[in-house]
Chain A
Amino acid sequence: MVSNTEMIKGFDNPEYASQQVFRQVMNAMARPGTVVDLPDVDTVGSLHTASMALCLSFFDYETTVWLSDGLKKNELFNQTLQFHCGCSITENPSTAGFALIGDLMDLPSLSVFSPGNEEYPDRSTSVVIQVDYLSHMGGVRLQGPGVKGDVRLDAPVFTIDFLQQWNENHQIFPLGVDVYLACGRQVAVLPRTVMLGDVRCM
């Protein structure tokens, strides 16, 4: 009857912290390229603090989540999701409400995820990708609604291949996935409306 002694705790103040996450992510979504800080929280293994904060705030018993290989194998993380969020894990990325990519190596093509449908474009998959750095210095140029002036974002995810996939994703608006880049406690959002281009330092 010995319980798992490693089980991690959730937010110290769930109401306050999760509303802070919603507020910050909403700002990041409205102003693509903005890097916001999320509240601090304990985390598991290779999971970044921001990813954990997103999970604890966004996932509930009605959420289906697709996990990349590395995360799927992380027993403790799966238990934590089960305990704190009660979300269901799916093997099929095209039905997932959220996808969590622990490592860029595990990132599948964006087209495997659900772009939503004509009646409900909001039912697309929100893809959370963990990256090793997020910076305003150099990188790709963002254009579109909510972007004023020369806004740039640099992260290891912006490969030629990814930019092409992103372009295709942008073309199918109002359908398409939204991407959350998580690094440490920071998050930047790429809504489907944003255009990426003009790579300066790659």
Chain B
Amino acid sequence: MIGSVLGWLLDPEHWRSTPFDTGIWAQLGAHVGFTLIALAIAVLLALPAGLVIGHTGRGSWLVSAANAVRALPTVGVLVLLVVVISPHFYGRTNAGFLIPTEIVLVVLAVPPILSNAYAGVQNVPPQVRDAAFGMGMTGPQVLGRVELPNALPLIFSGFRSAMLQVIATATIASYVTLGGLGRFIYDGLAQKDYPQMIGGAVLVAALALISDLLVALVQRYAVSRGVSRRFRTDTGPDSRTAVLVEEDVR
């Protein structure tokens, strides 16, 4: 089995697109595309909101409300939205599938980013905030120069958690006949072409692992050593930290 999966993955024909089949490169591009769009929207919505709620202490109900979304089954919401929205776009483009998918992806990505930005700012030691104001920083300066840099580990953790959920859910989106690497899993299943199905799963796993690694690298350089304590033998927060933070906030 492993041999035939490798065979499927290493066949250059499978990477190129043909008039009949979309190749791995194209599906990978589509997958990364959905993911980036959803993450960009989610970050634009959730990061400023989380930072401001954490800074002012007002509106934390919004964080709790966003976290309640976690109890919803992703697949169910995805299917429901596709069924609700797609008839309005029938026959024109794949927007009928793209829009519900992006909505679900954004809905999933917002809670970890929001609650981690909020918790990150809230967790800044009160005496640090006190000193910042006491030295004559204005509110925005305190947020930008002190609270944000100290909240970065949790913000990154939330972003990584959001990114992994988006990559995973974008895979499932292929189930509602959208492109992306999930296509190979569901097509392979339908055609009983198991090397293709397993090969697709390998690609999805690799995409998730590599993306997480890249963000972890950015995190390493973006976060001050004084905050990450990289002079100690501690591993910093990762995507698991984020889900636990959400639990805390709830």
A, B in one complex: no
Residues of B whose CB lies within 8 Å of any CB of A are: none
Residues of A whose CB lies within 8 Å of any CB of B are: none
